[in-house]
């Protein structure tokens, strides 16, 4: 049963490769909220502090908060990139992430080769990779360019390819960092369809966004973060209404 459960989840980023003396002066300032010393007296940024929540099957959660409040860090932690320094995290379900849709692309490889590479990153079998390559090539509408190195692509073509690749997934939990906005008017409408179908087809959606339209349209629940802590958690209308 897909779910995400956290208890006192805490993520701290150590600041090693910086001037230690200037950081210590910083700590004396009054306005400091999240730069602090941890248990071993290292200077850290407390990105997330003591988060506790449970997200169950069928929920579509919007992560709200100003820039730097910890939304992307939380998404990456759920995705398994960062390990909590305190607290508990339980993620059950196959994860699909749209956070970095262009990750791992090699500009010297062709579009098709990049799709196959993305398939390898996802751990797909050769047969599944071929099916994915065919489907993505067709959707992206790049025609003959799919077999040319992506160095030769325009920015718009790159976006089409990375969008088509990133959305060629069928996960139980979907993580998004802002709604993907893409391409020219033609592509945009079929991209909207594809993304909406993906979003409605998953068991759990967690999307970090500033776009209140998307929140009202797609989400059932909103969790608001401020300086790495949860300040509101409830149904969308209630949280947005406050």
Partner 1 sequence: MDTVVSPVRPFDASEPHRFARAVSDLRDGFGFWRLAVALAWGDIKQRYRGSILGPFWVTLTTAAMVVALGFFFSSIMKVDPTALFPWLAVSLIFWAMISQAITDGAECFISGEGVIRQIALPFTVHVLRCVLRNLMIAAHNLPLIFVVMFLFGISPGLAGLVFFGGLLIFVVNSFWMAFFFGIVCARFRDVPPILTSLMQLFFFITPIIWMPEQLGDRMAWLSLNPFNALMETMRSPLLGRPIGMEIWLQALGYSAALWALGLTLFTRFRGRIAFWV
| Least CB distance to partner 1 at residue 14 (A) | 6
Task: Kindly indicate which of the ranges 23-31, 59-67, 105-113, 131-139 contains the residues binding partner 1, using the contact rule CB under 8 A.
Answer: 105-113
Is 59 one of the binding residues for partner 1 (CB under 8 A)?
Answer: no
- In SS3 terms, 37-87 reads as ECCCCCEEEEEEEEEEEEECCCCEEEEECCCCCCHHHHHHHHCCCCCCCEE
Q: Can you tell me which of 34, 55, 64, 82 binds partner 1, judged by CB under 8 A?
A: 82
Is 10 one of the binding residues for partner 1 (CB under 8 A)?
Answer: yes
Integer-rounded Cα Rg, in Å, for the chain is 20
Q: Can you tell me which of 23, 27, 120, 181 binds partner 1, judged by CB under 8 A?
A: 120
Is 71 one of the binding residues for partner 1 (CB under 8 A)?
Answer: no
Nearest partner of 7 among 37, 50, 45, 38, judged by Cα: 50
Residue 140 near residue 164, CB atoms below 8 Å: yes
Q: Can you tell me which of 26, 36, 38, 79 binds partner 1, judged by CB under 8 A?
A: 79
Task: Kindly indicate which of the ranges 10-18, 184-192, 209-217, 231-239 contains the residues binding partner 1, using the contact rule CB under 8 A.
Answer: 10-18
Is 83 one of the binding residues for partner 1 (CB under 8 A)?
Answer: yes
Residue 242: CA count within 13 A, CB half-sphere: 12
| Least CB distance to partner 1 at residue 213 (A) | 27
**Which pairs from 228-236 meet CB under 8 Å and 24+ separation?**
228/11, 228/34, 228/46, 228/47, 228/48, 228/49, 228/69, 228/70, 228/73, 229/48, 229/49, 229/50, 229/51, 230/51, 230/52, 230/53, 232/64, 233/53, 236/62
| Least CB distance to partner 1 at residue 136 (A) | 17
Residue nearer to partner 1 on the CB measure, 30 or 83:
83
The H or E element spanning position 96 is strand 95-97
Binding mask 136-175 for partner 1 (x = CB under 8 A): ----------------------------------x-x---
Residue nearer to partner 1 on the CB measure, 173 or 222:
173
Is 56 one of the binding residues for partner 1 (CB under 8 A)?
Answer: no
Q: Can you tell me which of 94, 181, 188, 212 binds partner 1, judged by CB under 8 A?
A: 94
Cα-based distances in Å from 37 to 44, 46, 50, 225 = 6, 9, 16, 22
Residues making contact with partner 1 (CB under 8 A): 1-2, 10, 13-14, 16-17, 76, 79-94, 97, 99-100, 103-104, 106, 108-109, 116-117, 120-121, 123, 170, 172
């Amino acid at each position: 049963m897909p779910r995400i459960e956290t208890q006192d989840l805490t993520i701290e980023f150590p600041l090693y490769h910086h001037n230690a003396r200037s950081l210590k002066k910083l700590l004396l300032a009054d306005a400091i909220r999240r730069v602090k010393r941890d248990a071993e007296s290292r200077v850290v940024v407390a990105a997330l502090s003591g988060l506790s929540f449970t997200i169950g099957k069928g929920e579509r959660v919007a992560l709200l908060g100003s820039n730097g409040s910890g939304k992307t860090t939380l998404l990456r932690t759920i995705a398994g990139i960062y390990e909590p320094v305190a607290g508990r995290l339980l993620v059950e379900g196959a994860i699909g992430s749209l956070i970095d849709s262009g990750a791992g692309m090699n500009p010297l490889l062709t579009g098709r080769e990049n799709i196959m590479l993305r398939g390898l990153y996802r751990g797909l079998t050769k047969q599944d990779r071929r099916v994915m390559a065919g489907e993505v090539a067709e959707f992206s509408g790049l025609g003959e360019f799919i077999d040319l190195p992506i160095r030769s692509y325009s920015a718009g073509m790159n976006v089409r390819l990375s969008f088509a690749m990133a959305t060629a997934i069928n996960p139980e939990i979907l993580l998004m960092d802002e709604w993907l906005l893409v391409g020219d008017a033609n592509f945009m409408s079929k991209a909207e369809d594809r993304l909406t179908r993906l979003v409605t087809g998953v068991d759990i959606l967690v999307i970090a966004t500033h776009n209140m339209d998307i929140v009202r349209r797609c989400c059932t629940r909103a969790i608001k973060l401020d300086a790495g802590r949860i300040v509101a958690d409830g149904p969308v209308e209630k949280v947005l209404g406050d």
